[in-house]
Amino acid sequence: MLAKRIIPCLDIKNGTTVKGINFVNLREAGDPVELGKSYSLQGADELVYLDITASHEGRKTFTDLVGRIAREINIPFTVGGGINELSDVERLLTAGADKVSVNSSALRRPELIDEISSHFGSQVCVVAIDAHKDNKGRWTCYLNGGRIATDRDLFDWALEANQRGAGEILFTSMNHDGVKTGYANSALRRLSETLTIPVIASGGAGTMEHFRDTFIDGKSDAALAASVFHFGEIPIGDLKRYLKDEGVNVRI
């Protein structure tokens, strides 16, 4: 049985780590390179860096940041934001990233997943999905950092991404983002039972029990979180020891 992974997520805006609630009300959380080094030393399994306001003008700045991160940390990290074509992937991998995350660009042009996986290998391609559950129970995928609704259903789109060659699905519940009431475990369990690739849970971590529950009840392969790590609420070493005691297979 593969070990479950703990993944701090760093949302980057103008070179600084930020964190919000339900995708809005952002506040600064620290230097992305120093935070990454700290998480690596604490025992994080991987890191995710997302340029949340990626634009053509900002690409060079973010690429330089990826290079700085790669020089300072020794665990795998994924980068996302503004990746629209293979040259973007090549630029970020060359700078030192291990994987790339695509979200809006893949929804707009699903063939991008096929192209990335065929050129660089499926292990490089993480498909991130931001979805919101309405009062009828339907999960709808959103574009542009949760700003624009699409007509795509979470489960249909995740399965298509899987079939096109994605290596992992990173599912963020917009309903749960930043509110610290636990992950969307029923949706995560359905994804995990449907797909043939790992599923990363995102949105809702507030306590150590939430991590345990998403691994056991949600059948998640990895759990991503931000504010509980950025603001020192849950030390990663303590979290992993707790999970081990709860019977969850993690790397200590």
The catalytic site residues sit at: 11, 130
Rounded (10°) angle between helices 111-120 and 154-164 = 30
* Complete DSSP assignment for 147-174: TEEEEEEHHHHHHHHHHHT-SEEEEEET
> Which residue in 193, 225, 191 sits closest to 209, CA to CA?
225
Strands 5-13 and 16-21: antiparallel
User: Which amino acid, 175?
Assistant: N
> Which residue in 73, 23, 90 sits closest to 53, CA to CA?
23
Rounded-to-integer distance, Cα 111 and Cα 107, Å = 9
CA 190 from chain center: how many Å?
Answer: 18
> Which residue in 154, 168, 205, 212 sits closest to 183, CA to CA?
205
First-to-last C-alpha distance (Å) of the chain: 15
- Using CA atoms in the order 155, 159, 164, 170, what is the torsion angle rounded to 10 degrees? 60
